[in-house]
Amino acid sequence: MKDFPFEALVKIAQEDFFVGRIIINKVKTEYTAEIDIINKESRKIYRHVDNLYGGGDPKETLDQAVQKLAEFLGHGGQCLH
């Protein structure tokens, strides 16, 4: 991850129309993450999940964002329709 913003797509189990999207950005010396669920085809945001701030490492920030997305999907967010 040298270029920012960095976008990662996360497959959502048993979901044909939506995918998780995490955008990692560098702000001065820290990293932020924007976590959304987007439509696969149009790439429009279906649901904003969360933002993370103050990450010290981009890979660690990405891991935390994936965990946050998994928690959201595990607590009622899995039914997107």
* pLDDT by 10s per residue, the chain, length 81: 668 899 999 999 888 999 999 999 999 999 999 999 999 999 999 999 999 999 999 999 999 999 999 999 986 555 444
Q: How far is CA 57 from CA 26, 39, 50, 53, 78, in A?
A: 10, 28, 18, 11, 28
Report the sign of the C-alpha dihedral through residues 26, 77, 40, 20, in that order: positive
With contact defined as beta carbons under 8 Å apart, do 69 and 49 qualify? yes
Q: What is the pTM of this model?
A: 0.86
Which pLDDT value is given to residue 1?
60
Which pLDDT value is given to residue 7?
95
d(CA 54, CA 30): 5
